[in-house]
Structure 1
Amino acid sequence: MRLEGERESSNVEDRRSLGGLPIGVAGGGIGTVVLVVLALLMGVDPRAILDGGGPVAPPQGAPEARHAPEQQGGSDEARRFVGRVLASTEDVWTAVFRENGRRYDPPRLVLFSGGVRSACGIAGSAVGPFYCPADQQIYIDLAFFRDMERQLGASGDFAQAYVIAHEVGHHVQAELGIAQRVGEMRARAGEAQGNALSVRLELQADCFAGVWARRAHEARGILERGDIEEGMNAAAAVGDDRLQRRARGEVVPESFTHGSSAQRVRWFRAGLASGDIRACDTFESDRS
């Protein structure tokens, strides 16, 4: 990605120096299969864990390098990268909202290490990056990006940018009232229908990530050769089917909460191809 010289967002809060929160380790651990996460691996919406307010277990046996020195300073390159990507999303969504006669209020992004307290509860790194609608903040442990590369084979700076843009997509949904409406529908739905609604919400966030990429490139020329492939590889890597197969050797489609690899790639590409949020109506589409 071409981000050198781009501005950094002022909406980044770095809590890594706090050393994380004491997060309990549950028995019968999950090894080092971190990633998207305990919740994703088990086919559970991470917010269902967070909303409970209880501790989330980090992966047992996680390498000590998780808190590598280069990721702890307040002015390191990783932090600058996150700040630049977040600033790019601010520029894009401010413009999109303005075009639709609305005002965009950007989220804050909190960097943490090990564990963090949010308005949605206490979370460990095993939950992965998440958006908390209660405080309108995005939470990321930068070690996730290294785990994503080493354990899922999703490497590259644009793969990381895709993750950030996806979480920002959830904030966009909150700003537009979509997340609230879906939450109300899920409260009245059974488990299967609730999971299906969650999948469509997640796929729309993937599509919004594609919209951001398309419009940011048109405005600032941020994409380089291979970036789109990195983004699609990352979207595929965090598909429910791939994560479930990796974690337990079988796929249970009715437990999907984020969508299959093919679905996530398809909706990311839909946003990328159009640059238009109207192309991201996963709820009215016949194909999820």
Structure 2
Amino acid sequence: MKWEGNRESDNVEDRRGSGGGLPFGGRSIGIGTIVIALLGSYFFGVNPATILSLLSGGPVPVSQESVQKPPADDPVARFVSVVLADTEDVWGQIFRENGGQYQRPKLVLFSGRTATACGVGETATGPFYCPGDQKVYLDLEFFQTMRDRFHVASDFAEAYVIAHEVGHHVQNLTGISEKVAQMQRSTSESKTNALSVRVELQADCFAGVWAYHANEARGIIESGDVESALKAASAIGDDTLQRQARGVVVPDSFTHGTSEQRVRWFKRGIGSGDLNACNTFAAKQL
């Protein structure tokens, strides 16, 4: 992937080495507080950890000293900053063409764990997007996991991971996330999971849309890049991960889609560059 020399985003926070902090502000939490949190979660669909955090004084604030730009001599962090900038340029243009204004998300680099508006973010969770603070969270150790566990070693595959999480930000800005959350609050667990699959596959497609437009504008894709991204998408399919972990596949528990589905929807996005091609919710077959 050609990225050296491209613009770097100013929206990267580097919290590595800050310790992350605890999820709650230090006040004692009684049973009454827990009950309120659970009721709030049930009726309003809010993460109970978030409510507990607020009622107990809020998350431990991240100090200004720990919120800083990545060091200039950190090539991986620079790469992340370039990819984020590229998503900013692509989605900014797409939103303008559709009469909107793109709100750029922050991307937080952390190690181990960190406070978020969605509760405590941990390395084990993998990269994730929090709609509460409109931030993408990434422990760079995940890229090493891709290399060691999934045998995927490619800048473009790593860029796909970032672009997928930014795809969730696009869903948040366009109201898709809220509509899905409303539907999930009034349906069964299996149907909730099925809706999550459609959300994730659409984010895969949006990642493909980014790649299409970034390549059209800046020629970022090199030989083998697309294949590496498809390999990454295939490696993190629900069926593949379940088969590796438990030896069996339980489709009703899928939340991200099968390997074949993830590959298919990324290919739809990168093949067309068209947002309309990413309507997983209208698709009769994923």
Question: What's the TM-score bracket when you normalise by the shorter of the two chains?
Answer: 0.7 to 0.9
Residue 149 of structure 2 aligns to a residue whose secondary structure is helix
Corresponding residue for 1:226? 224
CA contact (8 A) 1:110 1:137 kept: yes
Structure 2 CA distance for aligned equivalents of residues 175 and 167 of structure 1 = 13
Corresponding residue for 2:158? 160
The higher radius of gyration belongs to: 2
Corresponding residue for 2:85? 87
CA contact (8 A) 1:239 1:258 kept: yes
- How far is the alpha carbon of 1:152 from its aligned partner? 1.3
- How far is the alpha carbon of 1:51 from its aligned partner? 5.6
Map 1:91-170 → 2, pairs under 5 A: 91-170=89-168
- How far is the alpha carbon of 1:137 from its aligned partner? 0.2
Residue 18 of structure 1 aligns to a residue whose secondary structure is coil
Corresponding residue for 2:265? 267
Using the TM superposition, name which of 85-94 and 13-22 deviates more.
Answer: 13-22
TM-score, normalising length: structure 2: 0.83
Structure 1 CA distance for aligned equivalents of residues 194 and 83 of structure 2 = 30
Amino acid aligned to 2:189: E
Map 1:2-151 → 2, pairs under 5 A: 2-21=2-21, 73=71, 75-151=73-149
CA contact (8 A) 2:208 2:270 kept: yes
Structure 1 CA distance for aligned equivalents of residues 48 and 267 of structure 2 = 29
- How far is the alpha carbon of 1:96 from its aligned partner? 0.5
- 1:174–1:243 CA distance, 2 compared to 1 (3 A): same
- How far is the alpha carbon of 1:4 from its aligned partner? 1.1
- How far is the alpha carbon of 1:287 from its aligned partner? 1.3
Residue 285 of structure 1 aligns to a residue whose secondary structure is coil
Identity, % of aligned positions: 57
Structure 2 CA distance for aligned equivalents of residues 155 and 121 of structure 1 = 31
Residue 6 of structure 2 aligns to a residue whose secondary structure is coil
- How far is the alpha carbon of 1:49 from its aligned partner? 8.1
- How far is the alpha carbon of 1:259 from its aligned partner? 0.2
- 1:48–1:124 CA distance, 2 compared to 1 (3 A): farther
1:118-160 deviation line (CA, Å, top 9, x unaligned): 0000121000000000000000000010011101112211110
CA contact (8 A) 1:9 1:86 kept: yes
Amino acid aligned to 1:112: F
1:165-189 deviation line (CA, Å, top 9, x unaligned): 0000000000110001001001111
Residue 9 of structure 2 aligns to a residue whose secondary structure is coil
Corresponding residue for 1:204? 202
Structure 1 CA distance for aligned equivalents of residues 165 and 12 of structure 2 = 14
TM-score, normalising length: structure 1: 0.82
Amino acid aligned to 2:165: E
Structure 1 CA distance for aligned equivalents of residues 127 and 153 of structure 2 = 16
Structure 1 CA distance for aligned equivalents of residues 17 and 49 of structure 2 = 25
Structure 1 CA distance for aligned equivalents of residues 11 and 51 of structure 2 = 25
Corresponding residue for 1:195? 193
Structure 2 CA distance for aligned equivalents of residues 50 and 138 of structure 1 = 20
Structure 2 CA distance for aligned equivalents of residues 50 and 115 of structure 1 = 18
Greater relative contact order, per chain length (Cα 8 Å cut-off, separation 6+)? 1
Task: Kindly tell me the number of residue pairs found equivalent between the two proteins.
Answer: 249
Structure 2 CA distance for aligned equivalents of residues 119 and 52 of structure 1 = 7
1:244-282 deviation line (CA, Å, top 9, x unaligned): 111111110010000000000000000001101000000
1:215-250 deviation line (CA, Å, top 9, x unaligned): 000000000000000110010011000111111111
Residue 2 of structure 2 aligns to a residue whose secondary structure is coil
Gaps of at least 5 residues in structure 2 are 24-44, 53-69
- 1:129–1:74 CA distance, 2 compared to 1 (3 A): farther
Structure 1 CA distance for aligned equivalents of residues 164 and 206 of structure 2 = 7
Superposition RMSD on alpha carbons, in Å? 2.1
